[in-house]
Amino acid sequence: MIKIVVLISGNGSNLEAIAKACQNNSIPGSIELVISNKPDVKGLERAQKYHLMSQTINHTDFSSREDFDQALTERVLSIEPDLVVLAGFMRILTTQFTNAFAGKLINIHPSLLPEYPGLDTHKQALENGDLMHGVTIHYVDEGLDSGPIIAQGALKIDPSQSEAKLAQRIHKIEHALLPKVIAEIAKGLISLKGKEVKFESKSYFGKNNMEFFNV
């Protein structure tokens, strides 16, 4: 059973997908702590619903990014996690944090990276007339939404659909893909070796790390 810490900033639907998968044992692990950098968010309600330990470390209480990251690092280290998941965590992390959890830190991002790091990914994909859009799950390095890619899920854009509808479709892929990736990490089928993702031969993602979703 691996120990997981999940960092959120808002809605927390990915947190809920992970919590469900831990509850029904498809992930051999448990969420030991949920941290939000914003108070009173829906994700904290979801954490309560699943009886998860949760807390807010409000970034506005700190005078610098470094001070916030230090508090965050110390709290997460106190859990001695095997895996830290950024699940809609909308803060740029300093190298202090990313180094402390190197090889144990993954992020989910709503685009087919390296396309569209940062914000407003759905809007950009629609405005650029892209045919495809998707999500990426990757190990985190010191860059913004960068680091070795574990898995991607893609969909075909329907240009008549709204940004909200596209976001909803993207969420469906995220909720399917993220728990599956975490389960494989927990089973030792996926790991980071240096700057490369290592897939054991039994890993589903080794051969299918870009999957098309009909959502």
Rounded CA-CA distance 171/165 in Å is 10
CA 47 to chain centre: 16
Locate 52 and state its tokens: 């998860």
* Residue 153 binds to ligand GAR (criterion: CB under 6 A): no
Q: Let me know: does 35 contact 8? Beta carbons within 8 Å.
A: yes
Q: How many CA atoms lie within 13 A of 167 on its CB side?
A: 13
Q: Which residues in the 42-61 window bind ligand GAR by CB under 6 A? A: 43
User: Is 109 designated active site?
Assistant: yes
Q: Shortest distance, CB of residue 39 to ligand GAR, whole angstroms?
A: 15
Q: What is the contact mask toward ligand GAR in residues 112 to 151, using x (rule: CB under 6 A)?
A: ---------------------------------x------
Q: Is 215 helix (H, G, I), strand (E, B) or coil?
A: coil
Cα–Cα distance, 200 to 188 (Å, whole number): 8
Interacting stretch for ligand GAR, rule CB under 6 A, among 5-13, 65-73, 124-132, 199-207? 5-13
Phi, psi of 71 (to 5 degrees): -65, -45
Six token digits for residue 25: 């044992």
Q: Answer yes or no whether residue 11 interacts with ligand GAR by CB under 6 A.
A: yes
| Count of residues near ligand GAR by CB under 6 A | 15
Beta carbon nearer to ligand GAR, 142 or 200: 142
For ligand GAR, the closer CB: 78 or 168: 168
Q: Under the rule (CB under 6 A), what is the footprint of ligand GAR?
A: 8, 10-14, 43, 87-88, 108-110, 145, 170, 174
